């Protein structure tokens, strides 16, 4: 199909997952305390090698890179802002411009300063004030940035906080990572992950609403946040439970996006809801490395639902598959894009597709699941582009070519 001329084609990363040595963050502290969690360590050393990463993305034919600014680096102590770290992220923005890449900047992607967590994190009285202070400082380097994400997957963050509270009160024995890589973990976590109730989600809504106008007024960028979209479906007779789960897990956050400039959709698979709530993904040979079902059709479902609830343009900020088979990655992405095109044909306003992830990276406690378009040697940090990177770049190049041909005609 012919995509809009301004359609973004790219890939995404998160700072804690690729930069390495994020020593002031709450996630770094958690890695050293929780059994079964691998350390992030040097990660992909993208903190020093971001130029190469952006160059590889651009040379493949992609034109957009979503990356995060790490709060724990910018504000290592309350009220103490690092000019050097702000300058580092400005250099990343400038490097994108050098290679003709549109930056999509995320201000918070799961990890926070350790001091913020010690104060009580997102449930603390002054959480919104703390976040707004950081965002105000971050806007000083965002001149020329067109797309800003305030918070990544607040619904997943709410779930994590709910789990942390369960640990604090003794109703949960150990921290559960958002990703898994073993059959035992999959079974245990599928039975244990809660659907976050609004009390854990509303602090994020307040924080998002507090900063979106700050970003708009100080940068002129389009502002939104991203939601983990489960492409949920109801089992027969359980529509009431389905609506309850859907609201608590997604629609609370989608409704909070009304008034934003776009909604970020992050989709990987689909999941059913029965009388007890979310149904664990059944075991199947096609399941991904994190245990989810192979469901490329989920992207179209998620985009349609997010657009319907918010009334906003959609930016696909994450979509991908955890697999060691790169041909499988290409097949999944090809099918997902077909479903995305169907949604666009039906009138959904989609502004771009950003694949997760540019690099094989640290998946929140585990190194096993590989989502990347580029493999990274964890000893030498040598980057090896996979065939899927060239394939997606060719898709993007062909789409832009068709747009140009249409203009000539």
Task: Give the active site residues.
Answer: 153
The Cα–Cα gap between 309 and 256 comes to 10
Kind plus residue range of the DSSP H or E element containing 180 = none
The candidate with the shortest Cα–Cα distance to 365, out of 185, 196, 230, is: 185
Provide the H-helix boundaries in 60-171: 71-74, 83-98, 114-118, 127-138, 154-168
With a CB cutoff of 8 Å and minimum separation 6, the contacts of 402 are: 1, 2, 3
Q: Helix, strand, or coil here: 154? A: helix
Q: What is the DSSP string of 249-268?
A: IIIHHHHHTTTSS-EEEEE-
Work out whether strand 8-12 and strand 64-68 pair parallel, antiparallel, or are unpaired. Answer: parallel
The two three-digit tokens of residue 76, written as one number: 């290592």
Distance from C-alpha of 163 to C-alpha of 178, rounded to nearest angstrom: 11
Pairing of strands 102-106, 147-152: parallel
The string of DSSP letters for 329-385 reads: HHHHHHHHHHHHHHHHHTT--EEEEEEE-SB----SS-S-----SEEE-TTT--EEE
Q: Are 372 and 321 in contact (CB under 8 A)?
A: no
Q: Peptide bond before 357: cis, by omega within 30 degrees of 0?
A: yes
What φ, ψ does residue 307 adopt, rounded to 5°?
A: -65, -40
Among 74, 145, 149, 141, which Cα is nearest to 107's? 149
């Amino acid at each position: 199909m012919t995509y809009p001329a301004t359609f973004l084609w790219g890939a995404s990363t998160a700072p804690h997952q690729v930069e390495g040595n994020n020593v002031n963050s709450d996630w770094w502290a958690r890695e050293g305390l929780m059994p079964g969690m691998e350390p992030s360590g040097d990660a992909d050393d993208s903190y020093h090698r971001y130029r190469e990463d952006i160059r590889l993305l651009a040379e493949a034919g992609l034109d957009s890179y979503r990356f995060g600014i790490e709060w724990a680096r910018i504000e290592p102590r309350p009220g103490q802002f690092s000019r050097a770290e702000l300058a580092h992220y400005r250099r990343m923005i400038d490097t994108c411009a050098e290679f003709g890449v549109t930056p999509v900047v995320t201000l918070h992607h799961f990890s926070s300063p350790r001091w913020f967590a010690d104060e009580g994190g997102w449930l603390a009285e002054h959480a919104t004030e703390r976040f707004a202070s950081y965002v105000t400082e971050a806007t000083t380097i965002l001149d020329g940035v067109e797309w800003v994400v305030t918070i990544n997957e607040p619904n997943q963050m709410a779930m994590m906080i709910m789990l942390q509270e369960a640990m604090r009160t003794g109703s949960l024995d150990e921290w559960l990572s958002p990703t898994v890589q073993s059959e035992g973990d999959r079974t245990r976590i599928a039975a244990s992950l809660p659907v976050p109730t609004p009390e854990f989600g509303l602090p994020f809504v307040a924080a998002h609403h507090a900063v979106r106008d700050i970003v708009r007024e100080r940068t002129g960028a389009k502002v939104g946040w991203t939601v983990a979209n489960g492409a949920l479906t109801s089992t027969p007779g359980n529509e009431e439970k389905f609506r309850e789960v859907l609201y608590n897990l997604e629609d609370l956050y989608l409704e909070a996006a009304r008034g934003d400039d776009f909604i970020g959709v992050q989709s990987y698979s689909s999941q059913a809801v029965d009388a007890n709530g979310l149904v664990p993904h059944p075991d199947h040979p096609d399941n991904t490395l994190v245990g989810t079902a192979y469901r490329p059709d989920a992207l179209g479902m998620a985009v349609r639902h997010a657009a319907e609830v918010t009334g906003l343009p959609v930016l696909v900020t994450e979509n991908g598959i955890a697999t060691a088979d790169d041909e499988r990655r290409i097949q999944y992405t090809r099918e997902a894009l077909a479903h995305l095109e169907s949604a666009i044909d039906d009138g959904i306003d989609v502004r771009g597709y950003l694949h997760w992830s540019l690099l094989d990276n640290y998946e929140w406690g585990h190194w096993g699941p590989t989502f990347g378009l580029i493999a990274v040697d964890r000893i030498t940090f040598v980057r090896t582009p996979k065939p899927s990177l060239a394939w997606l770049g060719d898709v993007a190049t062909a789409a832009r070519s068709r747009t140009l041909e249409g203009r000539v005609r």
